Structure 1
Amino acid sequence: MEVVIQPVEVLAQLAANAIERVLQERPTPVLGLATGSSPLPIYDELARRHADRGLSFARARGFTLDEYVGLPADHPESYRSVIDRELVSRVDFAPGAVQGPDGAADDLRAACAAYEEAIAAAGGVELQILGIGTDGHIAFNEPGSSLASRTRIKTLTDQTRADNARFFDGDLEAVPRHCLTQGLGTIMSARHLVLIATGTGKAEAVHQLVEGPVSALWPATIMQHHPHATVLVDDAAASRLQLGDYFRTVYANKPAWQIP
């Protein structure tokens, strides 16, 4: 696991650099796309590169991490709407190239199975963007999730719903109680994981992710077992790291040949 501690704008550039390499080097690049506030600087940087330098997503496919159950697809806070607004509409993905779990399906179990099959049929995710919840969840794999889980329905914790109420004008009751989410096993199948976290509110989760024991109590800790995981954090999110100074030294002295 590589831990990079830098200002937010630098973190966004580093993540965008990794995504750009995938887009340029792979004939049919497959990206895993996260929603929420953490990845927004990355999407802004990618949109800028598309507008200014012609960075193209035309050959790429994308799979989102999760979706609320019960929200119409055109609801402004459905993750289909969010990813369209924040990234897809700002670059040149082909129509239908980005898809997510169907939270409005009549048969949710079948929808989850179909989503797993779609990811596999596309060749698997090359680079997965991730955020992290204050309770250590990635995607919507709440504490207690199986470390081997696949796409499935999950019940959201009160903490997650409270954290996400800001997207629903502060109305907690408007936040759905259930979601469809890629499982931890699904996420771990991606070839490169890039997690971004900023702010003091994420400091404890980042500390557990990087330095804590691997445990279902902090689901993101499964990333410690991934062969190519990059954790991008600002000073505030890194404030609980006992090895923070060491991570800064490692990054400052990173060999030029090392895989980013």
Structure 2
Amino acid sequence: MACWVKFWGVRGSIPCPSPSHVVYGGNTSCVEVHFDGRHIILDAGTGLRGLGASLNERGVNSATLLMTHTHWDHIIGFPFFAPAYRPTFSLDVLAGHVAENGGIRRPFLSQMSDPMFPVPLDALMATISFKDFRPKDPLVIEDAVTVHTAPLKHPNGAVGYRLDYEGMSVCYVTDTEHTPGRLDPDVLELIAGTDLFIYDTSYTEEEFPARVGWGHSTWEEGVRLCEASGAKRLVLFHHDPDHDDTIMERIEDQVRGVLPSALVARDGMEVTLRL
């Protein structure tokens, strides 16, 4: 069976469905990693709605959802995740940033509570488990996928992930702010030699100084991390909603000018790891 990564939502901060965001897409963070029949979901932004419909069409009955954090743009798709309304579906939800703040079930419960949403969490018919861990705790999911984690620099906390399976690896490092002139040692350790390095590239270096403290990074920092760590391929991710297709095309040209192998994530883009 194939091993691949599919991008269902690539934007940050807020969905931006508009005629000027057609090429790269307007859904917020959601990525599917498929390892030989094992379905792993990274974040639950608005892209989760389309992924849910696809899982139902494919007859998938179980998945694992790994959450970087629980800001609105990363959880807003959960109430519209169709498999969660199916009694034959099971979902494990894991997070590493709220273990000491009520646990991961709490924000999902709040999101689907009056007056925020008309359907309560308890109305979901799937078997859903919520599990908490602490950053740097090693995990094994789907019986065969080793998961390494690292703390990220983001308001209210966030966690980066490395998924290792049968000699392949995918790293998902979004919603993190770098320190200019100093590569993050936790990120470097996490992404060392990875096949696919998905990174928060919300801003350009020209934009970054006015957004310090917002918890995001730049494509230029992504290139530096990729080159320093030996990561094989960088994927620009979590695009700023103000970056329309014209701006994104310019960024894509710029990054490929310095790192030809780099990819710019688009809604619906699929990357094959191994056939």
Normalising by the smaller structure, the TM-score range is: 0.3 to 0.5
Q: Which has the higher helix share?
A: 1
Q: Which has the higher contact order (CA 8 A, sep 6+)?
A: 1
Q: Which has the higher strand share?
A: 2
TM-score (norm 1): 0.45
